[in-house]
């Protein structure tokens, strides 16, 4: 069974904000939420991660609900190069590693 639940696909217009949701209801208190993306045949690319506070970096913002059972990744001004499969996961590190489910295929429309 997948650890997280994400919509299989989403469309977004170029220049608009892309909001990608993720449910992770079985997350434990010491596990971080991570977001990665993968462009066809390339290695996964780290985007952002957080524990319970909202986070922002040069790529995106991460909004985590107060109960930590879900989160939203926000790409503020999507470009065509943001078309990729986006994975949400959680981990405490070490032997847990990272487990990716099927992710969300985000398609940015011109």
Partner 1 sequence: DAGITQSPRHKVTETGTPVTLRCHQTENHRYMYWYRQDPGHGLRLIHYSYGVKDTDKGEVSDGYSVSRSKTEDFLLTLESATSSQTSVYFCAISPGLAYEQYFGPGTRLTVT
What is the contact surface with partner 1 in residues (CB under 8 A)? Answer: 2, 30, 32, 34, 41-46, 49, 87, 91-102
The CB-of-90 to partner 1 minimum distance in angstroms stands at 11
The CB-of-41 to partner 1 minimum distance in angstroms stands at 8
3-class secondary-structure state, position 95: helix
Which one, 65 or 99, has the nearer CB to partner 1? Answer: 99
Question: What does the alpha-carbon distance between residue 99 and residue 80 come to, in Å, rounded to a whole number?
Answer: 27
Which one, 69 or 102, has the nearer CB to partner 1? Answer: 102
The CB-of-62 to partner 1 minimum distance in angstroms stands at 12
Task: Find tokens 């970096």 and name the residue.
Answer: 57
Q: Is the distance from CB of 36 to CB of 84 less than 8 angstroms?
A: no
Question: What does the alpha-carbon distance between residue 36 and residue 20 come to, in Å, rounded to a whole number?
Answer: 12
DSSP 8-state assignment for residue 5: B
Which one, 37 or 75, has the nearer CB to partner 1? Answer: 37
């Amino acid at each position: 069974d997948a650890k997280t639940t994400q919509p299989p696909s989403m469309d977004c217009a170029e220049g608009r904000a892309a909001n990608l949701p993720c449910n992770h209801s079985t997350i434990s208190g010491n596990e971080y939420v991570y977001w990665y993306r993968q462009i066809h045949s390339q290695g996964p690319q780290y985007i952002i991660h957080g524990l319970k506070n909202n986070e922002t970096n040069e790529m995106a913002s991460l909004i985590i609900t107060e109960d930590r059972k879900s989160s939203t990744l926000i790409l503020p001004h999507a470009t065509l190069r943001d078309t990729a499969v986006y994975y949400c996961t959680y981990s405490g590190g070490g032997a847990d590693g990272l487990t990716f489910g099927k992710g969300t295929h985000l398609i940015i429309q011109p």
